[in-house]
Amino acid sequence: MEIYRATIKDLSELKQLEAVCFDDVHENFEYVLTSENHLYFYILDAKNHICAYIGASISLDESELLYICVSENYRGKGYAKELFLKLINELKLRNVNKLFLEVNENNTAAINLYKKIGFTLINKRRNYYGNETALVMLKNL
């Protein structure tokens, strides 16, 4: 499966997919797609439209997962796993050795995905998403 590094030319497609995946998130794509400290990757569908993406920020030897999103029709096909493998490979090449993330404790699909990738629970943040709790997870790379 081909996975591509996102650039500013992918801005409008990423915004469209974000709007479908997340109701209340407005990522500053103009910034992250031109920043040296961010990595965004995506997968194209048969019509050459972006159907899945992953994004992370890098601070020295640590990284934080920002978003992962797979368009509804393409879920359950291993796309998220593939995006993680690509991201993790690229982070290792940059000598990053820890990947953190936060996830809503009610997001079962995402939590199962993260466990499958090898993330472990290291902390909880109460009332992080309104009155809902965030799980803080870590994968050592």
Q: How far is the CB of 23 from ligand COA (least distance, A)?
A: 10
Q: Binders of ligand COA: how many residues, by CB under 6 A?
A: 20
Exposed, middle or buried by CB within 10 Å (0-12, 13-18, 19+), for 82? middle
Stretch that binds ligand COA, among 10-18, 38-46, 62-70, 127-135 (CB under 6 A): 62-70
Pick the binder of ligand COA from 4, 11, 18, 21 (CB under 6 A): 21
Residue 121 CA to residue 98 CA, distance in Å, equals 13
Of 34, 52, 39, 29, give the one whose Cα is nearest residue 93.
39
Q: Provide the binding-site residues for ligand COA, judged by CB under 6 A.
A: 21, 67-70, 75-81, 103, 107-110, 112-113, 116
